[in-house]
Amino acid sequence: MVVNLIEWSNKLLEAETTCQGIEPISKVVKSFTLKDAYYIQIETIHAKLASGQKITGKKIGLTSLAMQQLLKVGEPDYGHLLDSMEVLDGKVKRDSFLLPRVEGEIAFVLKESLKGPHITTEDVIKATDYVMASIEIVDSRVKDWKIKLEDTVADNASSGKYVLGLVQRKIHEVDLPNIEMKLFKNGHLVNEGKGEAALGNPASCVAWLANRLADFHIELNAGEVILSGALSAAVDAEQGDVFTADFGDVLGKVEVSFI
């Protein structure tokens, strides 16, 4: 079966609007490839840009070995961030998601563009303006998170929304592999992690992304926000929940409430 990119992009867009999940594309289309999935993602992003939304950055997923083993993949994935996804007041409506989950991450803000395929971690460090604490709210337009790698890639890497902290640090002020994050749900510690959980160094994740994007003639632009990958497992969110990702004195805290 030939994959109809526009058809599946439209299905995902409708699922986002109605909050009604679709069947996994990988289950319906047996010949579905990772390249097909990325082109569906790009088709969806083009549709959103045509509606007036703007790209604000990129996100990296599946950076931990545990998640890669779970989905039986050997590399991370990526998605696009849009201005409609940024949470500015720390509050989101639970009923605007299907099955949201919360992750704590380090966000990079670039001062220079990065274009693969030969970007190194050192290149990322030079191109970064500053880093920040962040929370990513991931969600899946695929019913009940029954996803394979191709499904999450087509679904913009299961992107939802993101929140940025207030503390901005120059990258040389932060020991990225050793920075610690504690994630609290309603005041209770639910998990924790270190920067090294993201491919050993969150900056390495950004380098991987720049090089992967070269396959699709896309680059990371100055001013973009790059979410470098979760430092611990994602936690389910329901109405009334309040999440805090605490990065200590280095990057401070970032919080989001589900109303």
Which helix H or strand E contains 161, and what residues bound it? strand 161-164
Any idea what DSSP says for residue 147? -
Q: pLDDT tens across 82-93, in order?
A: 999 999 999 999
**Orientation of helix 5-18 relative to helix 34-50, angle to 10°:** 60
pLDDT on residue 52: 98
DSSP class of residue 221 equals P
User: Given its phi and psi angles, is residue 62 left (phi above 0), alpha (psi -120 to 50 degrees) or beta?
Assistant: left
Lookup: tokens for 153: 């890639």
8 Å CB contact between 183 and 191 = yes
Greatest Cα pair distance, the chain, in angstroms, is: 54
Which DSSP category does 209 fall into? H
User: What mean pLDDT do residues 103-109 have?
Assistant: 97
What are the structural domains, with CATH classification, of the chain? 5-258 (3.90.850.10)
For 174-188, write each residue's pLDDT tens digit: 999 999 999 999 999
CA distance 239 to 93: 8
User: Are the beta carbons of 9 and 22 closer than 8 angstroms?
Assistant: no
Query: How does pLDDT run across 121-140, given as a tens digit for each residue?
Result: 999 999 999 999 999 999 99
What φ, ψ does residue 96 adopt, rounded to 5°?
Answer: -90, 0
pTM of this structure: 0.95
Q: What is the pLDDT of residue 67?
A: 67
Tokens 């994630």 -> residue: 183
Element (H, E) at 202: helix 202-213
Residues 218 and 225 sit within 8 Å (Cβ to Cβ): no
pLDDT in tens, 198-256: 889 999 999 999 999 998 899 999 999 999 999 988 999 999 999 999 999 999 999 99
* Nearest in space to 169 (alpha carbons), one of 139, 213, 208, 202: 202
| Residue closest to 61 by CA, chosen among 244, 246, 254, 227 | 227
